[in-house]
Amino acid sequence: MKGIILHGGHGTRLRPLTHTGPKQLLPIANKPMSEYCLESIKEAGINEIAIIIGGVGSNKVREYYGDGEKFGVNITYIKQDEPRGIAHAIRLCKEFVANEKFLVFLGDNIIQKSIKNFVENFKNSDYDSTVLLCEVDNPSRFGIADVNDGKITKIIEKPKNPISNLAVTGIYLLTPLIFEIIDNLKPSWRNELEITDALDELLKKNQNISYEKITDYWKDTGTPDDIIHANGEIIRKMKEKNEGKKEKNVVLDGKIIVGKNSIIESNVKIIGPVIIGANCKILENSVIGPNVSVGNDSIISISSIENSIIMKKCRINSVTKIRNSIIANNSEIKDEDGNEKIFLLGEGSKISL
């Protein structure tokens, strides 16, 4: 069985963070979100993986994952010239898949539950597809499945009046029959080939689609709030460890992970869940957390940061309270304002207030 990770798209809802690279490389708990997808696929016993790339910074995907050796998998790259829909991206993988069953994982989906049993069940079944569903509070944002008597009866993309609250997650188990369906698919109003339309056509063809329900945490990280929420949830599940150094009068409360060679100075308070990368400095009179990640090689002083993501090599010297923010690599904030602010800063931003 083979695996596919979709790593394309423009990430318009996450600009300016995605002006310099794909959204799937944005870090959650100091690791690219698509790496969680790769780990999930590998843990399910699949080692042959294709990554669909395209758009801004697709070269960064190749640079990070390489041939997959350091992740224990074999990676093939397939280019999508422009965003033309998930079904179109899947169709590009026909030669890679050959005659095998395969797993498709959208690179911006975060799941905490192992999918190994789902994959094994599908391998041993005669189903043409197994779709992973999850109950959501806002079904009009997603493709939605209508389920009656334990069977999917219809799949609709982002309905105005949802027929259920069962969202079609970005995880699909498929057979090569899907390629025949996609070849006869018409573009949607967005001029894209929609995977929900393909699944619905497959359903009409032979009623041979099953489903599995995700009852643990699942998040489609399409917005800054989604990413920040996932960041806190992932840190909560991580094992606590401290590989850094702390001075006297440091208050640590809750789950905290500190990387190698990081220093926490006196009179700092850290409220978990928090992860601090390697070679960081958290200087005096700072308050970090809860729900914060700090990337490698960052320096934070006299700052109060909560429910935020600080990426690599950032410099923050701010009496302003930073809340619900995402601050990209190599950014710098200096201010003496003292109010509370929300930041969404692209790579290399510099702000003096």
Q: Which of 199, 233, 267 is where one domain is finished? A: 233
Same domain, 55 and 197: yes
C-alpha 49/C-alpha 277 separation (Å) is 28
Mean pLDDT, residues 14-36:
81
C-alpha 115/C-alpha 269 separation (Å) is 38
Instruction: Kindly tell me if the per-residue pLDDT of 78 is higher than 90.
Output: yes
Same domain, 160 and 266: no
Same domain, 170 and 250: no
* Alpha carbon of residue 3 to chain centroid: 17
Residue 290, preceding peptide bond in cis (omega within 30° of 0): yes
The per-residue pLDDT for 21 is 67
pLDDT in tens, 103-136: 999 988 888 888 999 999 999 999 999 999 998 8
**Domains in the chain, number:** 2
Same domain, 226 and 249: no
Helix (H, G, I), strand (E, B) or coil at 117: helix
Q: Which of 193, 217, 233 is where one domain is finished? A: 233
**What CATH number does residue 283 fall under?**
2.160.10.10
Instruction: Kindly tell me if the per-residue pLDDT of 55 is higher than 90.
Output: no
Quote the domain boundaries for residue 145. Answer: 2-233
**Percent of the chain residues past pLDDT 70, beyond the cut:** 93
**What CATH number does residue 14 fall under?**
3.90.550.10
The per-residue pLDDT for 207 is 82
Task: Give alpha helix (H) positions in 184-310.
Answer: 195-206, 224-237
Same domain, 228 and 262: no
Same domain, 197 and 216: yes
Same domain, 148 and 87: yes
The per-residue pLDDT for 300 is 94
Same domain, 272 and 220: no
